[in-house]
Each structure stands twice: as structure tokens, then as C-alpha cells.
């Protein structure tokens, strides 16, 4: 580096020393910021060349892929129909997802599941249901598709100048004696949409957006964070 007139920033550089355990134990260089593994061209090299970190990374990625394409595809199929079902029904799906998440990261049954799901970037089953409904609503508002759902929702006329810039959906009347109406798309769509932050209910939508970026309160008052990087499509 000296010959090429380059300067090394030691505070931003990690050094990987490779060798046998006995050899490495003899080396004591306090001035170097050493690490136990480092990524080179996408491959993880460890200090003993056992490649255990690389194998673990591949194993976790494959487990996650299997989980997403096989298990989650089943949980997501027509999952909007599960909206407002009794908690006892949804719990059975939650148990499946929790077991799957623990298997992917090799976490014990005693560990709290929320941090595990967050590390995998997985939405909980109830959040996935609401995401599907919000995605469908967004698609209807931007493309009037699909036609068989388009006629079920309508935009409510603004009541004030302040609400003029927001898209608010009209809520249909419900029957107190027929609770199943609370599970319909006609009811769920405006209920969830109107709870979104104002920034996500603007009338001018970008045609480049293909999925709904949501930071929305769920029916249980928890926040759901969804981004356009997540591959959850209607």
C-alpha cells in the first residue's frame, strides 16, 4: 500500500488471521482489529477454514426459502378470508408459524417468538392477513381491479378542507345480529384503510408502486411495518 501511495484506515479495517488454533494462540497483536470470520466474494472464510459460518448461513437461507415457498404459501392462500375470525382459530396458524420460525433459526421453544420473527423479516399471521386486505384495497384504488371487488368499496366525500387531500373509504352499515358481516371485504377494506397514516392515504399514487408500503395499526393496536422490498403480493 505504501508503494502505491495508499493509506489504510485501521479503524474501518478488520484483519482475519487464518491458521491452526495452536498457531493463532501464539499471536498477540493488540494494534490490529482482528475478526473470527470475513466475507470474500460472497463466501465466508473463518479463521480455521472450517467454513462452519458459511455452511450455517446457507443452511439458514435454505430453511427460510423452504419455509417461505412451502409453508407460508399455504398460510397466505386466500388468507383474507380469515379476517376477524375468533382468536382461537387464528392461534392454530400462529403455532405453525412459530414452530417454523424456531426451526429456521434453531431457537429453543422457551425463547420469545417476536424477536425471532423480526430477525427473519416475517409478519405474524394476523399481520399477513391485514397486509393482504390492504394490498387488495390499494390495487383497487390505483387500477380499479379486480372488478368483482371494485364495486364493494367507495370513496367517502371529504367533509372538510383538511380531509380533502386524504382518501377515506365509506364504511358500510353492519348488523349487530349478524357478526359475519364484519368479516367481509366490504367491511374490512375501509376499516383497515382508514386507520392508515395520512401520508399513505393521499389521492395521488405513484404508478411505479407495485405493493403497498404500510406502517399501519392493526386491530390489536400493534404497528405493522411493511416495505416495498418485501415480496408480499396480493
Q: What is the DSSP string of 74-104?
A: HHHTTGGGGTT--HHHHHHHHHHHHHHHHHH
Other C-beta atoms lying within 10 Å of the C-beta of residue 74: 11
Above pLDDT 70, what percent of the chain?
81
Q: What is the Cα–Cα distance from 139 to 170, expressed in whole angstroms?
A: 17
Rounded to whole angstroms, the Cα distance separating 29 from 68 reads 44
Q: Which of 159, 214, 168, 166 is nearest to 189 (CA)?
A: 168
Instruction: Give residue-wise pLDDT tens across range 39-48.
Output: 888 899 999 8
Residue with cell 412451502: 70
**Phi then psi dihedrals of residue 188, to 5 deg:** -65, -40
Q: What pTM was estimated for this model as a whole?
A: 0.63
The whole-chain average pLDDT of the chain stands at 79
Residue 174 in grid coordinates: 353492519
Identify the weakest region by mean pLDDT among 165-179, 198-212, 220-234: 220-234
Distance CA 217, CA 225 (A): 9
Amino acid at each position: 500500500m505504501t508503494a502505491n501511495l495508499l493509506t489504510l484506515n485501521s479503524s474501518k479495517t478488520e484483519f482475519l488471521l487464518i491458521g491452526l488454533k495452536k498457531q493463532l494462540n501464539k499471536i498477540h497483536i493488540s494494534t490490529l482489529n482482528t475478526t473470527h470470520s470475513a466475507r470474500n466474494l460472497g463466501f465466508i472464510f473463518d479463521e480455521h477454514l472450517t467454513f462452519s459460518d458459511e455452511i450455517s448461513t446457507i443452511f439458514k437461507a435454505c430453511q427460510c426459502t423452504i419455509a417461505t415457498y412451502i409453508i407460508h404459501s399455504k398460510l397466505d392462500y386466500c388468507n383474507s378470508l380469515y379476517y376477524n375470525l375468533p382468536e382461537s382459530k387464528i392461534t392454530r396458524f400462529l403455532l405453525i408459524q412459530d414452530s417454523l420460525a424456531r426451526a429456521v433459526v434453531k431457537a429453543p421453544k422457551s425463547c420469545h417468538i417476536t424477536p425471532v420473527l423480526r430477525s427473519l423479516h416475517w409478519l405474524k399471521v394476523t399481520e399477513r392477513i391485514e397486509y393482504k386486505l390492504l394490498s387488495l384495497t390499494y390495487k383497487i384504488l390505483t387500477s380499479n381491479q379486480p372488478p368483482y371487488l371494485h364495486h364493494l368499496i367507495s370513496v367517502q366525500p371529504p367533509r372538510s378542507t383538511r380531509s380533502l387531500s386524504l382518501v377515506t373509504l365509506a364504511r358500510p352499515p353492519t348488523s349487530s345480529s349478524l357478526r359475519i358481516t364484519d368479516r367481509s371485504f366490504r367491511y374490512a377494506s375501509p376499516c383497515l384503510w382508514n386507520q392508515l397514516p395520512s401520508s399513505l392515504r393521499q389521492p395521488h399514487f405513484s404508478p411505479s408502486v407495485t405493493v403497498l408500503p404500510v406502517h399501519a395499526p392493526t386491530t390489536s393496536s400493534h404497528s405493522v411495518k411493511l416495505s416495498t422490498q418485501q415480496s408480499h403480493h396480493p
